[in-house]
Structure 1
Amino acid sequence: MASGKILAICQSGGEFVTNNDGSMSYSGGEAHAIDIDRDMLLHDLKSEISSMFNCNIDAFSIKYFLPSNRRVLITVSNDKDLQRMVDFHAGSDTTDVFILKKIENRIIRSVVADSGTPTNATTATVATIENVKRQKLCIDWDNMITGVGQVFESPRAFRDALHKYAIANSFMYRFVKNDASRVTAECSADDCPWRIHASRSPVKKEFMIKKMTETHACRKEVGKEGNRLASQRWVASVIKDKLRDTPNYRPREIASDLHREYGLSLNYAQAWRGKFVAKKQLYSSHEEACNQLPWFCERISETNPGSVTALVTCDDSKFCFFVAFYASLNGFEHGCRPLLFLDGISLKANRHWKLLAATSVDGEGDIFPVAISVVDAESKENWHWFLLQLKSAFNMSRTITFISNGQNGLTEEIRSVFEDSYHGYCLNHLIENFKTELEESWTQEVKDSMVEHLKQAVYACKVDEFNQCIDSIKTESKELAEWLLNTKPESWSDAFFKGLRNGQYSSTAPETVNNWISTRYELSVVQMVDMIRCKMMEMMYARRESSNTWTETLAPSANQKVQEELVKARTLNVICSTANVFEVHDDSVNVVNIETWECTCRRWQVTGLPCMHALAVFERTDLCIYDYCSKYFTTECYRSTYSLPISPIPDIGRPACSDPSHSTIICPPRTRRLAGRPKEKPDDPRITVKRAVRCSRCKGFGHNKQTCKVSILKVEHIS
């Protein structure tokens, strides 16, 4: 078969037979052939199978064997699983695909004895149940971490592998460093030297193990300490896939499997809570997507006409939800510079979902949310879908500059959806990756100096300035300077970048959004998005009212920058060449062209505000400074950004429709209390007015009879 395409023989209605070597073979039933390629979606495959066998595919599972392993059936539950199946069998003539009822996931119907003849049905059933119980939840956890050079998709994937590796190898660990660019962990046992460090390579965009101690010096045992790693969320992550295929997976079976495989002694309640969390992750969010989110989309469209919403639900309990309020779209189009930051935000209030956000900045340089999307994970496919929705929401032809961390295929996806756009690299991520490349033997002073040289290289407007910064880094380390040049400076240095950033290099969206939805309860998607809407509504009102008091042509921060540069400009010497071209002398000679808004120092072009050389020309020629500032820094443009409000959405707590599925009040679910003491005692809603304490002896307020210090004579006088 051609690469990326297989011929699948879909079989159903038969039964499996276990051979004496442990492998399984399938006999009976009917079979159909179908071509499957990497671009086929699971939904399309299910539709084909449903029409082939005239059945409801939702009641069936799709499984297959690996080419060299006919003992373990692999389940196809999403599009990536389907792509993996095609990749595994790309060189095979045909591929066997089995369509099994979900209630028949215990699939072995007969067992072949040594003689090759099936045993009786009773024996077969017993063997079937035993084999199911002994089927491992996850395979080869002992080898999840192999050593230096092992590559992972992301820091989260590395942390998950480390967690499973520690449980399988019976030791506890603690994090020394743990962020988006590097993870360092060490054994928590005293005097044990075991340590592991992994970080991201900005060149290949891989998260790789850089250092690892091979052996432990501690006595590894699993007891009560080992159970600390087996949290209910971890148990849920382990059993989720098996629970999807076997809904009747009982807590006692969960506890038995984990004890047999990893020696973890979980009681019934711990296993039950793990199953509860897994079921909630599998079904609750999908039920909400099917029931509450369509209603929420309608309410947004009714109360905020012109807003754009989109909702896609999948059969594998996943969904994508997109919303861009009309006030945000209008503000971005008429008031904000064509600059968008793309961020994948991990939510502290709810870790089941990721928030994809597109934010811009206003004339003051403050964050301006444009669109958000709730997805199950930050992946290339989800970013592609988000960018498509974002493009359909815009009614403008401006060339947009995007700033992101470039991960999860964002660079390619931006280029494919917004063909004429520019893409820059986020400064914060660049600095974090740069720090991981610094020599550990260097002093902190040298490290800080290297980071400062990097920032100067980012802000450098001319090529010679950029080269000076690289030379300063090269004096300490030629390898570090070479690494920096390999990160494509045209995507982050002002000396080469062709997009329009106007001095904005990083986004504060993750911190802002997490502060907006800070709560002690896990929120539903509707609650979370509506809380963000309320914060945006409040923010836009406050900034609109504040701007009404401004009297200057430029926004306050831009006006302050111009005034500071104007002080420097008054000491410069200006020589006129033509009506539009001038020569300005300071430490060097710069040429200013007021017709094209250009100066050879390039700061006017980069920032959007006149540099001191241009301001010196304006002072000499009595030209109006504000006529040569980018419109995005004017007060008028700022007010246009916040000219339209986000309207309230009434009855958000109770869907107002006749559909019975929408009749449930959206309330915060009961969850485990977060660690730490609450910041303040929650108010009792039954107590509306607190009565002041009054002394029954002297009739005074603020104390009682036992603590009264008034003399008896005064008390008699009062009475």
Structure 2
Amino acid sequence: MVYNATYINHVFFIRHINLITGLCVVIGLTDSGEDSGIETESDCDSWHSEDMDKVLDSDEEEPTVYPPYNEKAKFGNLKLEVSMIFKSKQHFMNATRDYTIQWGRNINFIKNDNVRVRAVCKIEGCPWVVYCACNKQNGVWQIKTLVDEHSCPRKRKNRAATQEWTLGKLVPKLRKHPTMKHREVYDWFVRKCNVKLNRTCITRALKAARKVVEGDEVEQYGLIWDYANQLWTTNPGSTVQVGVIPMPESPPQFQRFYVCLEACKKGFKAGCRPLIGLDGAFWKSLHGGQLLTACGQDANNHVFVIAYAFVDVENRDNWHWFLEILQNDIGDYRENSWAFISDMQKWGSIQLKELVWECARSRTVSEFERNMKRVKVLNERAWAYLDKWPKESWTKSHFREGPKMDTICNNACESFNARTKHDRGKPILTLTEEVRRIIMKSMIDNREKLANYQGLLPPVQQSRLEAMTKLSQHWSPQWSGDQNEELYEVHGWPTTMVVDLGNRTCTCRFWQLTGIYSHPILRF
């Protein structure tokens, strides 16, 4: 038997343990490599564990841990390296696509099968290459080769930035900023991803992303009845009505949807002014339509939504249906002296528009007639259009004095339409929920604003009274000599007003229309 020279002058012992007999034989190896045949009694009588025969190597390393791909890394900080592992082939291909878009390069997957993927730069002569293969033992994919150098220039337009890739980036962004528009999406991709997308890609990706975030428009029409039942359950006493058009050989077609929450009914009857604004706004969904609203104002002139409805088209039939249900909810308008206001006409000429507003603001009949003559001189056709309408419906000079309202603008509905402007492109149930949340939040905010307020008048009315008090400094009252000292003549250049404190009247009619003292009265 021949041994290596490194074992010269050393003696090795191999212990053999016979577990059955308990005998121990020690065979010694001499320098010549022959068996010595010597047995030791102490070794035979002692027990030796098998673990004692194992040789522990102090330099033995733990199993290698390969770096996984970091999916949470921000775009711009993505990295690839040799030995990096991925969950699947698709995971590797998506990561490679993100990585190359990050650096503005176009690549081709020249090898793509079930066990390996190789990608190279599209530019001929560029050395960039990555090779990833599947590990059969654990099923993960691992980068085997990576030459991370480009000799080609960077490009902002990248064919790898497909609609699918754009959609994946856009969905989480749209959840945080649901009102993003086409141009904002384009600017965001240029700023964050340094890539320019074409208009078609952005349009399709934005539409698909909205479908993911907001829901499918067509499917939501089939859930309207379920949503109506949920509103009845969570808001007892609310009025919810769904109108459909029966179809002979298919499911019914949506026509209109009315909602009046119980809190809105009680709130309007308990503490709002007797004025209801009516307006419609375009509903920019897949099939289009109109959002009809009825809004009031509380004592502090805050917008108070009473009811709203979604209809397929704004016409007389749908308005009649809407107002009929609204009257059943809040009571007969004659018994409660409700007043209604709506926008009906837009004026083109600026000068004509200002004159029409002067006619509407006129509080006395003489002032109104004077302004109407000016309108007739400027545009007789406009004068004829205004003259055919009942005066008490649009000018202060003919308003009833009971409601104590001098509002001639439908600002409550306009304000509500402005708040829902960015939401009116969403599907019907998503938009309905947004409207309900807007109503709920406005009620809470208005309550918190006045929670700690102290005063006889609401803040808006108090500020209006203070403004009138400042104007009253230019007026001088003079008693007319009546027995009860109630009639006064108040002089203020260039006009003079007569104030009757007993009957609470002023010839300017401000006191009668609003219930607030006018500046001639505040001089007392």
TM-score w.r.t. length of structure 1:
0.38
Residue in 1 that maps onto 2:419:
515
Deviation at 1:468, TM superposition (A): 1.8
Partner of residue 345 from structure 1, selected from 278, 281, 289: 281
Q: Distance between the aligned counterparts of 1:511 and 1:545, measured in 2?
A: 20
Deviation at 1:305, TM superposition (A): 2.2
Residue in 2 that maps onto 1:547:
450
Partner of residue 470 from structure 2, selected from 561, 567, 579: 567
1:498 and 2:400 are equivalent in the alignment: yes
Deviation at 1:308, TM superposition (A): 1.6
Residue in 1 that maps onto 2:441:
538
Alignment of 1:119-138 (within 5 A): none
Deviation at 1:304, TM superposition (A): 1.9
Pick closer, same or farther for the CA change 1:600–1:535 going to 2, 3 Å. same
Pick closer, same or farther for the CA change 1:531–1:483 going to 2, 3 Å. closer
Question: Quick check: 1:356–1:375 contact (8 Å CA) kept in 2?
Answer: yes
Alignment of 1:369-518 (within 5 A): 369-395=305-331, 397-404=335-342, 426=343, 429-430=344-345, 432=346, 434-435=347-348, 447-498=349-400, 500=403, 501-510=405-414, 512-513=416-417, 515-516=419-420, 518=422
Q: Distance between the aligned counterparts of 1:591 and 1:470, measured in 2?
A: 25
Deviation at 1:460, TM superposition (A): 0.3
Q: Distance between the aligned counterparts of 1:510 and 1:453, measured in 2?
A: 22
Pick closer, same or farther for the CA change 1:306–1:504 going to 2, 3 Å. farther
Partner of residue 488 from structure 2, selected from 571, 576, 583: 583
Alignment of 1:62-141 (within 5 A): none
Q: Distance between the aligned counterparts of 1:595 and 1:307, measured in 2?
A: 45
Deviation at 1:379, TM superposition (A): 1.6
Deviation at 1:393, TM superposition (A): 1.0
Residue in 1 that maps onto 2:517:
610
Deviation at 1:540, TM superposition (A): 1.2
Q: Distance between the aligned counterparts of 2:369 and 2:491, measured in 1?
A: 22
- Equivalent position SS for 2:453: coil
Deviation at 1:367, TM superposition (A): 2.1
Pick closer, same or farther for the CA change 1:325–1:594 going to 2, 3 Å. farther
Pick closer, same or farther for the CA change 1:456–1:580 going to 2, 3 Å. farther
Deviation at 1:475, TM superposition (A): 4.1
- Equivalent position SS for 2:276: strand
* Root mean square deviation, CA, Å: 2.8
Gaps of 5+ in 1: 1-283, 405-425, 436-446, 620-719
1:593 and 2:524 are equivalent in the alignment: no
Query: One-letter code of the match for 1:322?
Result: Y
Deviation at 1:504, TM superposition (A): 4.2
Q: Distance between the aligned counterparts of 2:382 and 2:327, measured in 1?
A: 38
Q: Distance between the aligned counterparts of 1:298 and 1:590, measured in 2?
A: 59
Spell out, residue by residue over 1:228-254, the C-alpha distance to the aligned partner (whole angstroms, 9 max, x if none).
xxxxxxxxxxxxxxxxxxxxxxxxxxx
Partner of residue 225 from structure 2, selected from 289, 294, 306: 294
Query: One-letter code of the match for 1:509?
Result: C
Query: One-letter code of the match for 2:265?
Result: L
Question: Quick check: 2:499–2:505 contact (8 Å CA) kept in 1?
Answer: yes
Q: Distance between the aligned counterparts of 1:449 and 1:572, measured in 2?
A: 35
Q: Distance between the aligned counterparts of 2:490 and 2:421, measured in 1?
A: 53
Query: One-letter code of the match for 1:611?
Result: S
Question: Quick check: 1:306–1:326 contact (8 Å CA) kept in 2?
Answer: yes
Residue in 2 that maps onto 1:356:
292
Partner of residue 304 from structure 1, selected from 226, 235, 239: 235
Pick closer, same or farther for the CA change 1:517–1:600 going to 2, 3 Å. closer
Q: Distance between the aligned counterparts of 1:608 and 1:350, measured in 2?
A: 48
Alignment of 1:640-719 (within 5 A): none
Q: Distance between the aligned counterparts of 2:220 and 2:320, measured in 1?
A: 23
- Equivalent position SS for 1:495: helix
Question: Quick check: 2:395–2:408 contact (8 Å CA) kept in 1?
Answer: no
- Equivalent position SS for 1:363: coil
Query: One-letter code of the match for 2:230?
Result: R
Question: Quick check: 1:349–1:518 contact (8 Å CA) kept in 2?
Answer: no
- Equivalent position SS for 2:396: coil
Deviation at 1:449, TM superposition (A): 3.3
Q: Distance between the aligned counterparts of 1:356 and 1:602, measured in 2?
A: 34
Spell out, residue by residue over 1:265-302, the C-alpha distance to the aligned partner (whole angstroms, 9 max, x if none).
xxxxxxxxxxxxxxxxxxx979755x422222222222
Question: Quick check: 2:240–2:260 contact (8 Å CA) kept in 1?
Answer: yes
Q: Distance between the aligned counterparts of 2:418 and 2:466, measured in 1?
A: 36
Partner of residue 329 from structure 1, selected from 262, 265, 275: 265
